[in-house]
Structures are given as C-alpha cells and as structure tokens.
Chains A and B, each alone.
Chain A
Amino acid sequence: MAAKKTIPVKKVMAPEGPVAKNARVWKFGDDIDTDAIIPGRFLTINNPDELAKHAFEGTRDEFAKKVKQGDVIVGGRNFGCGSSREHAPLALMGAGVKVVVAQSFARIFFRNAINVGVLPITCANADKIDDGAKIRLALQQQKIVADDTEYSIEPVPAFMQGIIDAGGLVEYAKTIQEIPVCTR
C-alpha cells in the first residue's frame, strides 16, 4: 500500500499496549468459525462492548466472564472461518482482546481484524502454546514469547501494513481523498 508516510505501529496498539503485562492466553483449536465467536442471534448488536458479553457464548462461556483487558487469543488453523460478520473481531475488541495469534487465518476475518484494529499474528507453531500461558509480543524481532518459549511469527503482508500503521481502515480512509484506481 502506498501510504504517504509510515505512522509508528503503536497507534493500533493503543496507549496501554495491545497485550497486558500479565496477559494470559485463551487457547482455541482449529477452524474456529465466526458463529462460535459471536452467534447469529446477537448480530443485531453493533456495539463492541455489548457484543463482548456474548463472545464465545455456548462454545466457551467462561471467556466473556473472565477475559481481561489485554489478554490474547491463540488458535490453530483457519481461525475466523465462515461468516464475514465483522461483529466477530468487534466482539473480541470489546472484550479487550487486541491480538489473535493463529497458525493460519480465514481470509475475511484476517482483513476485518486489521480493519477494526485487532492484530492477527500468524505463527506456525501457535498450536504448541498452552491455554493460560503468559504471553508477550516482540514484534520488532518478529517473535512472540509464551511461557518463556520464543515463537517466530510471519510478517503482515506489505499492503496491509499501511492500514495497520494508520490505525485501521477508517483512519486510513480519512487520509485519502480519491483512490487511484488500479494502483499497484
């Protein structure tokens, strides 16, 4: 993406950082679909805080009750598959989760997450991380550290980095007046 200037990454990370000091991992498996993240019957809600009350309802009820600001979700393969509902990353955001680590992501969730300011991190060995692990990010070193074990992560595609740097797609869109169609 041809961003005019690169804004430091911290913006999407929020002032207190995306991952709290004592952040814990909420571990999930493969093929976590967006129906599981936020069931269809709650999609009339558009407010992240309200959505967060129903995150993983029926799938993992303790999550909404016990999740803390700055916790991290770790999934396996194909995280966020299924419905395009942006309510899914919004529900996580409302729950205070600003980082999701997974072995791989479904395409629409990946893009939605970045657009709303949840950072999706692709980590080939995410399945090795335990539920409840202490976790921190070392993005500059392309690493995350969970229970003192280091895991390497994949860089975000270059054209998405511009949106992350701007603080999400809404903020990015505000910086442009007209779109040069078919720019590459």
Chain B
Amino acid sequence: MSATIVEKIFSHKCGSEVRAGDVVMAPLDGAMIHDITGPLAIQKFYEMGGKQVFDPKRIIMLFDHQIPADSIAAANNHVYMRKFAAEQGIHNYDINEGVCHQVTIEKGRAAPGEIVVGADSHTCMYGAAGAFATGIGSTDMGFALKFGALYFKVPETIRAEVTGKFQRRVGAKDLILAIAHDIGADGATYKALEFTGKTIRKMDMAGRMTLCNMAIEMGGKAGIVAPDKITWEYLKGRRRMKPFALDSDGDATFAERRTYNVSDLEPQVAVPHNVDTGVPVSKVTGTHVDQVFIGSCTNGRFEDLAEAAEVLGRKKFSKNIRVIIIPASRDEYLKTLKAGLIEKFVKAGALVEAPCCGPCMGGAFGLIAPGEVSLSTSNRNFRGRQGSTDGKVYLCSPATAAASAITGEITDPREV
C-alpha cells in the first residue's frame, strides 16, 4: 500500500500500517530539552510522579538560549537542569556545544526513520536528517521523559517539489521564505512538509536544514527530506547506521503537491511582522538597518558564514550599524575559524560571539530599541521578537545580510 515517508516512519515504529489521521502512541528515539523549556519539562516529569527517565541515552540536554547565564534566574535554571542530568545519568552538553538543533543533528542524535521530539518549535529541522521530528511543549516533554512515548496524530503531507538552479548568491533561505509566502503562516498546520525534486537532491545538508527548520513557520508539524547519499555521507562518523531506502511512494496520498522552480528566484526578504510576508529584495532595497545578525539554527552553519564571507570579499561592514555573527555550534565555529573567516569578520568590524541562539529570540543579548531595525538570518520576525515591540525585524539569507551589512541598508547581494 502506498504511503508517505511520514506514514512509513510511524508504521515502522508502530509495527502496523498507520496512515495520516490515525492517532498513535508512538515510541520515541530521542527527546531534546534546553535551558528555556527544560526546567518546566523536568518539573512536569516530577509532578507526573516521574522517578527515572525512560532512557537517559536517548535524552539530549544542552543550554543555548541564555548562555553564558545572562541573569541569576537563567543561572538557576541551568543549575536545576545540571542537577537533573546528574541524578538521571543524562549526558549534558551544557553551554559548550551550541544551538540545540544544530548540535542534535551534528551529534547523530536524529537519523533516518527515527521519531524525535524536542521542547522547541524548530525541532522540525531534524527532518533534514530523514527523521520525523516535531516541537512539543514542556508538559508533553515531561510525559515523553517519563514514558518514552507520546501521542501523535499522524500528519498528512504537503509535498513541495523543487526544480531549477539557484542564481548566484540565492539559496535555501530565499526558497523557504518564498515557500512560506506561498503556503502562508498557517497553511501547513498539522501537516508535514516534504521537500523533494532535483534541486533538493543536489542541496547540501546545510541548505536542507534551513528548509526543514522553517516548516513550523507555516504551522507545519515536521519538515522532511528523504535520506539519500548526501544524508548518509553526512551521518558517517556521527551515527552508526546502515544506509537504507526511505522515501514517499510516488502514488501516496498527499494533502497537496506544490511545485517550485528556483531558476528565476530573487533573494527574498520577509518584512515585519510575519514570516509569510516574503518579497523580492528589490521591493525593500534601501531600507535602513541598525543591526545585522548572521547566525541561528536556521543559518549559522559554516556554509552560511562562508557565503557571507564571499559576499564581504575585501570590503568592511558599515560603521553605522552593529553586525553580530554567531556560528551555530562549536564544530561550525571551528570550521569557520580554520577557514580564516572569523578573523576576516572581526577585521571587517563584526562582533563574533560564541555559539548560542544570540539575538534570535530576544531573550539574552543583542536586543533592539524602539524604532530600530534588525536584519536577521534567523527564522522569526514577530513584533518584539528581538527586543522592543516598537522595533522591526526583517528576515533574509546570509548573502543578503552580508551585502546589507556592508552598505547599512537592505541590499541585493547580487549587486555588491
């Protein structure tokens, strides 16, 4: 019987054929908690009568949102979680590794065919590694920690088939902003978003992560790319697993099929205050910016930073703005460092921070004042997301961010 990739994952895990719409109690291969939503999840675990977590080896713990602790309250949350990790025998990556989603994939803690949950909405990023992964709240996470299983309504799938070749300095972020504009902020609610087609087959893991990361911005329960050579190659040395075939059947039942051709795609910018407001960069060229942020789980990988560096060339960043660059993980930081790019960014006038979420969620540092404008490679531009509710956040690719950081206003990266 034909099935989508998501239906296949649930069927395999449940040992019987399940289809979209079925409600199942599915076993979990992994559960991720971080410093913002973790304390509540642990509290709920105890309130449920939890004594031992289902399997300490399957729990991924790290701190990334408020590190190093930016307040006594944050420090206390970290202490509380460290205590839990020690008590339960959970390996805690603590403040050392970087942004949760990047680290989870990098450490091979999400792999093809697995079901992974995370107490963070961008958990859907692990679909880039062929896993079914979804964000949950803290109480659901408390339940997951205790039982190692969770109720799921198996989602329908929207299949996005992507063809064509990107123009120079146009890429995955521009594509996903265009898709978000097309599908809308709630167009994929309760659904999985599967990315397929020739363009995706050629896309590197970094780009696939950017796509899957933003499935939630359309309400999606998961983003997913069927594992292929590129996936298995990436997983080598990260996860011991024999490659196997896993893909949607061509005649599976999809909620929708959408096609995109990227050949003529312009760099995209999502304007305040929603993610589905993507417009071609030409519509907002010249908009003054006060702060540029290049980083986050969406676009903080080496490939992203290398693209920003390529656009920068021998130029300097504008003296009139703040440029904050944050690699998404320790590994990505080291790659960037070894390539000489950190030095290049610092010399060009940027502030390069240690791996963490940074200004993305407006909780720790890099907040904007009333009236200020942030241009960011992260995933959300909601009112107040990066500080004042009277500020504005625009979203774009690393190339557009770098080009704009040079001029001090929103700039087409193809024209720098």
A115-B25 in contact (CB<8A) = no
Complex Cα–Cα for A33 and B274 (A): 10
Task: Assess A58 versus B44: contact at CB under 8 Å? Given A35-B380, A107-B219, A168-B139.
Answer: no
**CB-CB < 8 A to B390: which residues of A?**
58
Complex Cα–Cα for A36 and B390 (A): 12
| Nearest CB in chain A: distance from B272 CB, A | 12
Complex Cα–Cα for A158 and B151 (A): 12
Is B178 in the interface zone, CB < 8 Å from A?
Answer: no
Is B363 in the interface zone, CB < 8 Å from A?
Answer: yes
Closest Cβ neighbor of A115 among chain B residues: B139
Which B148-194 residues have a C-beta within 8 angstroms of A? 148-149, 151, 153, 185-186, 189-190
B137-A86 in contact (CB<8A) = yes
**CB-CB < 8 A to B149: which residues of A?**
179, 181
Number of B interface residues at 8 Å Cβ cutoff, please give it: 65
B137-A115 in contact (CB<8A) = yes
| Nearest CB in chain B: distance from A12 CB, A | 13
B382-A78 in contact (CB<8A) = no
| Nearest CB in chain B: distance from A165 CB, A | 15
| Nearest CB in chain A: distance from B309 CB, A | 29
**CB-CB < 8 A to B139: which residues of A?**
86, 112, 115-116, 168-170
A111-B136 in contact (CB<8A) = yes
Q: Mark A169-184, 1 if CB is under 8 A from B, else 0.
A: 1100110001111111
Closest Cβ neighbor of A117 among chain B residues: B139
Closest Cβ neighbor of B43 among chain A residues: A46
B189-A107 in contact (CB<8A) = yes
Is A8 in the interface zone, CB < 8 Å from B?
Answer: no
A173-B274 in contact (CB<8A) = no
The total of interchain contacts (Cβ-Cβ below 8 angstroms) comes to: 159
For this complex, into which size category does the number of interface residues on chain A fall? 35 or more
B363-A84 in contact (CB<8A) = no
A58-B25 in contact (CB<8A) = no
Which B365-383 residues have a C-beta within 8 angstroms of A? 367, 380, 382-383
Task: Assess A84 versus B119: contact at CB under 8 Å? Given A59-B383, A174-B48.
Answer: yes
Closest Cβ neighbor of B138 among chain A residues: A86
Is B77 in the interface zone, CB < 8 Å from A?
Answer: yes
Sorted from nearest, which 9 A-B pairs have the closest CB atoms?
A58-B389, A112-B137, A44-B73, A40-B363, A78-B186, A115-B139, A182-B14, A173-B48, A86-B137
What would 19 more interface pairs be, CB under 8 Å, given A82-B121, A85-B37?
A35-B384, A35-B385, A39-B384, A41-B362, A44-B76, A46-B40, A78-B185, A78-B189, A84-B123, A86-B138, A107-B219, A107-B221, A108-B121, A108-B137, A112-B139, A159-B153, A173-B147, A184-B24, A184-B25
- Cβ contacts A to B, 30 pairs, < 8 Å: A33-B382, A35-B361, A35-B380, A35-B383, A36-B384, A43-B65, A44-B66, A58-B384, A58-B390, A78-B219, A82-B121, A83-B120, A84-B137, A85-B137, A86-B40, A86-B138, A90-B40, A107-B221, A111-B137, A112-B140, A115-B137, A169-B142, A170-B142, A173-B142, A173-B147, A181-B25, A181-B26, A181-B149, A182-B13, A182-B24
